[in-house]
Amino acid sequence: MNKKTTFTDKARIIFKGILDPIGNFLNGLGLTPNAITLLGLLGTTIGAYIISQGNMTLGAFVLLTSVLVDAFDGTMARLRGEPSDFGAFVDSVSDRYAELVTFGGLLYYFDTQGSYPGVVISFIAAAGSVLVSYVKARAEGLGFTAKVGILTRLERYLVLIPLLVFNQPFIAVCIIAVLANITAFQRIWHVRQQGRERIRQSKEQK
Protein backbone atom coordinates (compact mmCIF):
# COMPACT_ATOMS: atom_id res chain seq x y z
CA MET A 1 0.00 0.00 0.00
CA ASN A 2 1.53 3.33 -1.08
CA LYS A 3 2.11 5.91 1.58
CA LYS A 4 0.71 9.38 0.95
CA THR A 5 2.98 12.37 1.42
CA THR A 6 1.23 15.23 3.19
CA PHE A 7 2.01 18.93 3.02
CA THR A 8 3.39 18.63 6.55
CA ASP A 9 5.80 15.86 5.45
CA LYS A 10 7.00 18.02 2.56
CA ALA A 11 7.44 21.03 4.85
CA ARG A 12 9.63 18.99 7.21
CA ILE A 13 11.87 18.00 4.29
CA ILE A 14 12.03 21.55 2.90
CA PHE A 15 12.90 23.13 6.25
CA LYS A 16 15.18 20.33 7.48
CA GLY A 17 18.22 22.58 7.03
CA ILE A 18 16.71 25.05 9.49
CA LEU A 19 15.11 22.62 11.92
CA ASP A 20 18.20 20.46 12.46
CA PRO A 21 20.64 23.20 13.63
CA ILE A 22 18.04 24.66 16.00
CA GLY A 23 17.14 21.17 17.22
CA ASN A 24 20.80 20.50 17.96
CA PHE A 25 21.03 23.81 19.83
CA LEU A 26 17.98 22.99 21.98
CA ASN A 27 19.36 19.52 22.71
CA GLY A 28 22.60 21.16 23.73
CA LEU A 29 20.72 23.26 26.28
CA GLY A 30 19.58 20.05 27.94
CA LEU A 31 15.94 20.43 26.92
CA THR A 32 13.96 17.29 26.10
CA PRO A 33 11.56 16.84 23.18
CA ASN A 34 8.64 16.36 25.59
CA ALA A 35 9.55 19.61 27.35
CA ILE A 36 9.41 21.43 24.01
CA THR A 37 6.03 19.81 23.27
CA LEU A 38 4.60 21.05 26.57
CA LEU A 39 6.19 24.47 26.10
CA GLY A 40 4.41 24.76 22.77
CA LEU A 41 1.11 23.80 24.43
CA LEU A 42 1.65 26.42 27.13
CA GLY A 43 2.31 29.07 24.49
CA THR A 44 -0.83 28.06 22.60
CA THR A 45 -2.86 28.34 25.81
CA ILE A 46 -1.55 31.86 26.37
CA GLY A 47 -2.32 32.74 22.75
CA ALA A 48 -5.85 31.35 23.08
CA TYR A 49 -6.44 33.46 26.19
CA ILE A 50 -5.28 36.59 24.39
CA ILE A 51 -7.61 35.77 21.50
CA SER A 52 -10.51 35.19 23.91
CA GLN A 53 -9.99 38.77 25.13
CA GLY A 54 -10.38 40.10 21.59
CA ASN A 55 -6.72 40.84 20.74
CA MET A 56 -6.57 38.76 17.57
CA THR A 57 -3.32 40.08 16.12
CA LEU A 58 -1.21 39.60 19.25
CA GLY A 59 -2.85 36.22 19.87
CA ALA A 60 -2.03 35.16 16.32
CA PHE A 61 1.65 35.97 16.75
CA VAL A 62 1.77 34.07 20.06
CA LEU A 63 0.14 31.09 18.31
CA LEU A 64 2.66 31.33 15.48
CA THR A 65 5.55 31.30 17.95
CA SER A 66 4.06 28.30 19.75
CA VAL A 67 3.56 26.36 16.51
CA LEU A 68 7.17 27.03 15.52
CA VAL A 69 8.41 25.89 18.94
CA ASP A 70 6.30 22.72 18.72
CA ALA A 71 7.87 21.91 15.36
CA PHE A 72 11.19 21.08 17.02
CA ASP A 73 10.20 18.20 19.32
CA GLY A 74 10.29 15.52 16.61
CA THR A 75 13.49 16.93 15.18
CA MET A 76 15.15 16.89 18.59
CA ALA A 77 14.13 13.28 19.21
CA ARG A 78 15.46 12.22 15.80
CA LEU A 79 18.78 14.01 16.34
CA ARG A 80 19.13 12.37 19.76
CA GLY A 81 18.59 9.01 18.10
CA GLU A 82 15.85 8.26 20.57
CA PRO A 83 12.45 8.81 18.96
CA SER A 84 9.87 6.93 21.03
CA ASP A 85 6.30 5.83 20.67
CA PHE A 86 5.49 7.59 23.94
CA GLY A 87 7.02 10.83 22.67
CA ALA A 88 4.92 10.62 19.52
CA PHE A 89 1.88 9.90 21.68
CA VAL A 90 2.54 12.95 23.89
CA ASP A 91 3.05 15.13 20.81
CA SER A 92 -0.20 13.96 19.23
CA VAL A 93 -2.26 14.44 22.38
CA SER A 94 -0.67 17.85 22.96
CA ASP A 95 -1.57 18.90 19.41
CA ARG A 96 -5.23 18.00 19.99
CA TYR A 97 -5.30 19.94 23.26
CA ALA A 98 -3.67 22.90 21.53
CA GLU A 99 -6.33 23.01 18.84
CA LEU A 100 -9.19 22.61 21.29
CA VAL A 101 -7.79 25.36 23.51
CA THR A 102 -7.43 27.64 20.49
CA PHE A 103 -11.00 27.09 19.32
CA GLY A 104 -12.15 27.39 22.91
CA GLY A 105 -10.62 30.85 23.02
CA LEU A 106 -12.39 31.79 19.81
CA LEU A 107 -15.69 30.35 21.04
CA TYR A 108 -15.41 32.35 24.27
CA TYR A 109 -14.67 35.51 22.29
CA PHE A 110 -17.72 35.06 20.06
CA ASP A 111 -19.87 34.32 23.11
CA THR A 112 -18.81 37.56 24.81
CA GLN A 113 -19.61 39.40 21.58
CA GLY A 114 -23.07 37.85 21.48
CA SER A 115 -22.29 36.15 18.18
CA TYR A 116 -24.32 32.93 18.18
CA PRO A 117 -23.17 32.00 14.63
CA GLY A 118 -19.55 32.47 15.72
CA VAL A 119 -20.04 30.14 18.71
CA VAL A 120 -21.66 27.44 16.58
CA ILE A 121 -19.12 27.67 13.75
CA SER A 122 -16.22 27.57 16.24
CA PHE A 123 -17.62 24.35 17.69
CA ILE A 124 -18.00 22.84 14.21
CA ALA A 125 -14.45 23.89 13.34
CA ALA A 126 -13.12 22.29 16.54
CA ALA A 127 -15.08 19.10 15.91
CA GLY A 128 -13.83 18.85 12.33
CA SER A 129 -10.23 19.47 13.35
CA VAL A 130 -10.31 16.75 16.01
CA LEU A 131 -12.09 14.32 13.68
CA VAL A 132 -9.41 14.75 11.02
CA SER A 133 -6.81 13.50 13.48
CA TYR A 134 -9.06 10.87 15.08
CA VAL A 135 -9.97 9.28 11.75
CA LYS A 136 -6.28 8.96 10.87
CA ALA A 137 -5.37 7.48 14.26
CA ARG A 138 -8.29 5.04 14.22
CA ALA A 139 -7.54 4.01 10.64
CA GLU A 140 -3.89 3.33 11.41
CA GLY A 141 -4.94 1.30 14.45
CA LEU A 142 -6.85 -0.97 12.05
CA GLY A 143 -3.99 -1.25 9.59
CA PHE A 144 -5.24 1.33 7.07
CA THR A 145 -3.73 4.65 6.01
CA ALA A 146 -5.50 8.00 6.04
CA LYS A 147 -2.87 10.64 5.23
CA VAL A 148 -5.11 12.38 2.70
CA GLY A 149 -7.26 15.49 2.68
CA ILE A 150 -7.12 19.19 1.92
CA LEU A 151 -6.74 20.61 5.43
CA THR A 152 -4.39 18.83 7.84
CA ARG A 153 -3.10 20.49 11.02
CA LEU A 154 -0.42 22.63 9.38
CA GLU A 155 -2.83 23.90 6.74
CA ARG A 156 -5.37 24.75 9.45
CA TYR A 157 -2.84 27.02 11.11
CA LEU A 158 -1.92 28.52 7.74
CA VAL A 159 -5.57 29.51 7.40
CA LEU A 160 -6.13 30.55 11.02
CA ILE A 161 -3.07 32.63 11.88
CA PRO A 162 -3.01 35.05 8.90
CA LEU A 163 -6.75 35.72 9.20
CA LEU A 164 -6.39 36.40 12.93
CA VAL A 165 -3.54 38.81 12.19
CA PHE A 166 -6.00 40.78 10.05
CA ASN A 167 -8.72 40.46 12.72
CA GLN A 168 -10.97 38.15 10.74
CA PRO A 169 -11.75 35.37 13.25
CA PHE A 170 -15.22 34.59 11.85
CA ILE A 171 -13.91 34.04 8.33
CA ALA A 172 -11.14 31.85 9.77
CA VAL A 173 -13.46 29.53 11.69
CA CYS A 174 -15.89 29.35 8.74
CA ILE A 175 -13.15 28.17 6.37
CA ILE A 176 -11.80 25.65 8.87
CA ALA A 177 -15.28 24.40 9.79
CA VAL A 178 -16.03 23.59 6.15
CA LEU A 179 -12.64 22.30 4.99
CA ALA A 180 -11.73 20.34 8.13
CA ASN A 181 -14.97 18.39 7.99
CA ILE A 182 -14.50 17.79 4.26
CA THR A 183 -11.04 16.46 5.09
CA ALA A 184 -12.47 14.12 7.72
CA PHE A 185 -14.93 12.74 5.16
CA GLN A 186 -12.13 12.41 2.59
CA ARG A 187 -10.24 10.25 5.06
CA ILE A 188 -13.33 8.20 5.91
CA TRP A 189 -13.91 7.56 2.19
CA HIS A 190 -10.24 6.67 1.71
CA VAL A 191 -10.44 4.11 4.52
CA ARG A 192 -13.71 2.76 3.11
CA GLN A 193 -12.00 2.11 -0.23
CA GLN A 194 -9.14 0.30 1.51
CA GLY A 195 -11.63 -1.77 3.49
CA ARG A 196 -13.38 -2.84 0.29
CA GLU A 197 -10.04 -3.70 -1.29
CA ARG A 198 -9.09 -5.76 1.76
CA ILE A 199 -12.37 -7.69 1.54
CA ARG A 200 -11.87 -8.28 -2.18
CA GLN A 201 -8.34 -9.62 -1.65
CA SER A 202 -9.56 -11.83 1.17
CA LYS A 203 -12.23 -13.36 -1.05
CA GLU A 204 -9.72 -13.97 -3.85
CA GLN A 205 -7.41 -15.82 -1.47
CA LYS A 206 -10.14 -18.26 -0.43
Domain boundaries, the chain: 7-205
Query: What average pLDDT score do residues 162-180 get?
Result: 97
Which among 153, 132, 136 is positioned nearest to 44, based on CA atoms? Answer: 153
Whole-number percent of the chain with pLDDT over 70? 90
Average pLDDT over the chain, rounded to an integer: 89
Q: 32 φ, ψ to 5°?
A: -105, 155
| pLDDT greater than 60 at residue 195 | yes
Which among 139, 175, 165, 145 is positioned nearest to 61, based on CA atoms? Answer: 165
Query: What average pLDDT score do residues 49-60 get?
Result: 97
For 127-143, the DSSP string reads: HHHHHHHHHHHHHHHTT
> What is the C-alpha separation between 155 and 172, in angstroms, rounded?
12
**This model's pTM is above 0.85:** yes
Q: What pLDDT, on a 0 to 100 scale, did the predictor assign at position 2?
A: 47
Query: What average pLDDT score do residues 16-40 get?
Result: 82
Query: What average pLDDT score do residues 175-196 get?
Result: 96
Residue type at position 180 = A
| pLDDT greater than 50 at residue 42 | yes
For 7-205, CATH number out of 3.90.420.10, 3.40.190.10, 1.20.120.1760, 2.130.10.10 equals 1.20.120.1760
**Which carries the bigger pLDDT value, residue 86 or residue 161?**
161
CA triplet 176, 48, 9: central angle to 5 degrees?
A: 50
Q: What is the DSSP letter of 32?
A: -
